[in-house]
Amino acid sequence: MEYRAYQKGFEFRRSRQAICWLQDHHIRTLDVYSQRWRTAAYRAVVLFQKYPELMAHTPMFHDKALVSWGKDPPRLIARKLARSIASTRAALWCMEQIVRALEKRQPTSVITSLYRSVIGSYIFRGYSEGLGAFEHVKN
């Protein structure tokens, strides 16, 4: 709905004072949440193929797409390569083990950045898998 509003000329602004509270009772664990994002990223490939201009408006995918040699700035290339390494099975397994160990000893707020890394890695994996599965799909 937001994209259609944008296409019709509505302007969106961010506000640091805005507050939103969402309690999703279906997400009880990091595993479930990570898999949800992996699936969403997998399916986003077809969405971006149909509406390529959407990619520019979806910053969460900027470091999760494949490296565009010659187009991406060096800093983005480094982020994409780091994301690729962090998304390997071994790296993800290690991060998830650390999260599980810290969850028993630390409050959730202490390990929020590690949660983001794990989820970002699953988004990368889902998007990469979607590119492999849907590379032939066009509008």
In a domain, 15, yes or no: no
Which residue would you say has higher pLDDT here, 41 or 139? 41
Asked whether 32 and 26 are in contact (CB, 8 A), the reply is: yes
HSE value, Cβ hemisphere, 13 Å, CA-based, for 5: 6
Number of folded domains in the chain? Answer: 1
Residue 70 clears pLDDT 80, i.e. is over it? yes
Q: Which of 69, 105, 68, 63 is nearest to 84 (CA)?
A: 63
Q: Within its chain, how far is the Cα of 78 from the centroid?
A: 17
Task: Write out the residue range of the structural domain in which residue 44 sits.
Answer: 29-134
pLDDT of 113 above 90:
no
Q: Is there a domain that residue 7 lies in? A: no
Find tokens 């506000």 and name the residue. 15
- What is the rounded average pLDDT of the residues 95-121? 84
Whether residue 56 is contained in a domain is answered as yes
DSSP 16-77: TT-------TT--SHHHHHHHHHHHHHHHHHHHHH-GGGGGG-GGGTTTSPP-TTTS-HHHH
Q: Is residue 68 part of a domain?
A: yes
Residue 90 resides in a domain: yes
Please write the tens of the pLDDT for every residue from 38-55: 999 999 999 898 888 888
Residues in the chain: 139
For residue 52, is it within any domain? yes
